[in-house]
Amino acid sequence: MARPSGKKPTAAEKAQAREVSLRRIGSLFTTHRWSLGIVVLIIVLSSIIAMASPFLLRAVIDDALPHADVRLLVWLVIGMVAVAAVTAALGVVQTWISTAVGQKVMHRLRVDVFTHLQRQSIGFFTRTRTGEVQSRITNDIGGMESVVTSTATSIASNLTTAVATVVAMAALSWQLTLVSVVVLPPAILLSRRVAQMRREITAQRQRELADLNVTIEEGLSISGVQLAKTMGTAPALIERFTGSSTRLIDLELRSELAGRWRMASMSIVFAAIPAVIYLAAGLPFTRGTMSIGTLVAFTALQSGLFRPLMGLLNVGVQLTSSLALFARIFEYLDLTVDIQEPDQPVKIDAKGHLRFEDVTFAYPGSEAAAVAGVSLDVPAGTSLALVGETGSGKSTLAALIARLYDPTAGRITIDGVDLRDLSLADLTSIVGVVSQETYLLHTTVRENLRYARPDATDEQIEAAARAAQIHDRIAALPDGYDTQVGSRGHRFSGGEKQRIAIARTLLRDPRILVLDEATSALDNETERAVQRAFDELARGRTTVTIAHRLSTIRDADQIVVVDHGRVLEAGTHEALVGAGGRYAALAA
Ligand SMILES: Nc1ncnc2c1ncn2[C@@H]1O[C@H](COP(=O)(O)OP(=O)(O)O)[C@@H](O)[C@H]1O
Ligand SMILES: [Mg+2]
């Protein structure tokens, strides 16, 4: 369940998120362990090579220069340059591998989230804001980039550099080494504090980013803009957007600055250490125990310790704050799939005999049943019409046939097989739905039609459009079937979109056809054209029609009046008129 945004997570929740996430984050990398192994190897190798530098330096100062040994000096200098060249080359290879690994991990997460959300039921999308999903897939996974690409290398390189440096330092003088590492414990404590701060800021920032995305989606999509323009809410939208954006400035600033003071204090301490070392070297009891070369080499090493140590501490900070990102992604990946694919799907050559057996259904989170104890029997090839007031449960019945939801009790069968025993792919090829809301993709008319059946030939597409009474209209467009439909098909009228949707369903050739108020938005003229298209579509199929105009359903084999989710009466037009009940009153 999504935590309501704004509420602060409790300490227990945080601890849990942390524990789960670290192991899971690690598991994302298991398939890349060989690549990561190579990266670590390269890093260790280049750190060891780099460690030669201070020893070369000491040789220059203590041997080559004082003895004017030009030969030795040249070799030492060549050695210094070679060390730099080799480590740089290794660095390139290592960046290449680790970036590839990081990108593959992000790719996997993006694809997994997309796939998993596709399998979510309509219920999920009813509760989730559109921009929220986008934001998690792009902003949250995008925000992981630095962590997934550089954490492993950062740990490996900084750790090996730090260890090698300390070893080299100890080889030069263990006493001075001790002086240098006393700063470690306070540095670690400071970093932990900063990491926690960053993590909270990151969680807030990602929520704010998602809000921003939702505002964009609601304010700048075609329907949103229409609403805003007609309702005059543009200023309010701008204000909301400005508010989100302003809060983001603050969060970004806090995120950047959290820990600047840590960096500042650490660098002061590190700068002070060489001074302390010179002091230590000059004190009476240590004086004369080390050469000037040793001292210079040691301070060179010691100043080189600052970067890897800070690097290591920063990895901790980054990793901790990225837990907020991973938690948001894992939350999506952990959503249960309500509409489950059966383990052993039953294969049928569907004739289209549809039955509702005492079906009850309540929407998730809703107490009242939208459909209660409904039994229907629609023999293959016959037609059923559902009538009833708005909110009586007709669309819910339609949604249940397409298995957008599963019944709370009872079952729905096709040719005697429970919908839950059919593979989802088979079910979608058996049941076709045309509803009042048609969704067209932003592409050509042809591609919109082919979406229903990717292997359809141009001839089949055209035949479907003809049957749906829309071919002439499409042919008259500037580019015919290759005309762009525009965002959500806004260049077409409701009736035209409707007929394109019918053509699309015709291409799928479903045995059972569900028409949910598909003509209610249309004027009489268009309705007649669409109705002809429907009649064409319905021929030889089992049809369930929900119509707001009774004239269109007179000829149905069965008419069922739905009231408060129950079947009130059922029969043919003549029988129901004769019975003088609700239908008779409606039809009068
Ligand atoms: N996604 C939903 N979540 C919760 N309740 C819903 C949802 N869709 C519809 N309902 C409720 O279920 C009842 C039946 O709705 P519906 O099947 O759409 O009626 P009809 O199509 O007959 O107008 C209504 O009370 C409606 O408010
Ligand atoms: Mg409805």
% of the chain residues with pLDDT over 90: 34
Helix (H) or strand (E) run with residue 495 in it = helix 494-508
391 C-beta closer than 6 A to ligand 1: yes
Query: 359 and 290, same structural domain?
Result: no
124 C-beta closer than 6 A to ligand 1: no
**Distance from the Cα of residue 543 to its chain's centroid:** 37
Give 439's pLDDT tier (boundaries 50, 70, 90): confident
Q: Is the pLDDT of residue 276 over 70?
A: yes
How many domains does the chain contain in total?
2
What is the CATH number for 326?
1.20.1560.10
31 C-beta closer than 6 A to ligand 1: no
Query: 541 and 443, same structural domain?
Result: yes
Q: Is residue 245 part of a domain?
A: yes
Q: Residues 204-213: what's their mean pLDDT?
A: 90
State the distance from the centre of ligand 1 to the C-alpha of 289, rounded, in angstroms.
88
Nearest CA to ligand 1 atom 24: 391
Give 296's pLDDT tier (boundaries 50, 70, 90): confident
Q: Residues 442-453: what's their mean pLDDT?
A: 89
* Closest ligand 1 atom, residue 123 Cα: 1
- Can you state the angle between helices 222-231 and 234-257, rounded to 10 degrees? 120
State the distance from the centre of ligand 1 to the C-alpha of 372, rounded, in angstroms.
13
Q: Is residue 342 part of a domain?
A: no
Give 10's pLDDT tier (boundaries 50, 70, 90): low
Q: Is residue 301 part of a domain?
A: yes
What is residue 79's predicted lDDT score, i.e. its pLDDT?
A: 92
State the distance from the centre of ligand 1 to the C-alpha of 394, rounded, in angstroms.
8
393 C-beta closer than 6 A to ligand 1: yes
Q: Is residue 343 part of a domain?
A: no
Query: 412 and 307, same structural domain?
Result: no
Contact in structure between 26 and 140 (CB atoms under 8 Å):
no
Q: How many CA atoms lie within 13 A of 494 on its CB side?
A: 14
Domain end call among 267, 300, 333: 333
Query: 362 and 434, same structural domain?
Result: yes
State the distance from the centre of ligand 1 to the C-alpha of 516, rounded, in angstroms.
13
Query: 441 and 314, same structural domain?
Result: no
* Closest ligand 1 atom, residue 388 Cα: 22
Give 11's pLDDT tier (boundaries 50, 70, 90): low
Handedness of CA 43, 48, 49, 51 (dihedral sign): positive
Q: Is residue 338 part of a domain?
A: no
Query: 292 and 204, same structural domain?
Result: yes
Give 13's pLDDT tier (boundaries 50, 70, 90): low
* Closest ligand 1 atom, residue 126 Cα: 1
365 C-beta closer than 6 A to ligand 1: no
Contact in structure between 359 and 412 (CB atoms under 8 Å):
yes
Tokens linked to 238 = 């701008």
Nearest CA to ligand 1 atom 27: 391
CB-neighbour burial class of residue 384 (10 A; exposed 0-12, middle 13-18, buried 19+) = buried
Instruction: Give the span between the Cα atoms of 580 and 588, in whole angstroms.
Output: 10
* Closest ligand 1 atom, residue 371 Cα: 14
Give 4's pLDDT tier (boundaries 50, 70, 90): very low
Q: Is residue 346 part of a domain?
A: no
Place of tokens 């105009």: 549
Query: 389 and 308, same structural domain?
Result: no
Q: Is residue 345 part of a domain?
A: no
Query: 371 and 307, same structural domain?
Result: no
Look up the pTM and report it: 0.75
What is residue 288's predicted lDDT score, i.e. its pLDDT?
A: 67
**Distance from the Cα of residue 266 to its chain's centroid:** 38
> Which of these ranges, 17-31, 106-120, 135-149, 245-259, has the smallest mean pLDDT?
17-31
175 C-beta closer than 6 A to ligand 1: no
Query: 393 and 292, same structural domain?
Result: no
**Distance from the Cα of residue 122 to its chain's centroid:** 17
* Closest ligand 1 atom, residue 516 Cα: 21
Nearest ligand to residue 387 Cα: 1
Query: 382 and 454, same structural domain?
Result: yes
Nearest ligand to residue 399 Cα: 1
Q: Is residue 6 part of a domain?
A: no
Domain end call among 304, 333, 362: 333
Query: 50 and 134, same structural domain?
Result: yes
Domain that holds residue 481: 354-587
Of 581, 512, 518, residue with least CA distance to 549: 518
Q: Residues 92-115: what's their mean pLDDT?
A: 93
Q: What's 231's DSSP letter?
A: H
Neighbours of ion ligand 2 (CB under 5 A): 395
Residue 304, classed as helix, strand or coil, is: helix
Give 268's pLDDT tier (boundaries 50, 70, 90): confident
Query: 364 and 464, same structural domain?
Result: yes
Contact in structure between 52 and 76 (CB atoms under 8 Å):
no
Q: 383-387 and 558-563 as β-strands: parallel, antiparallel, unpaired?
A: parallel
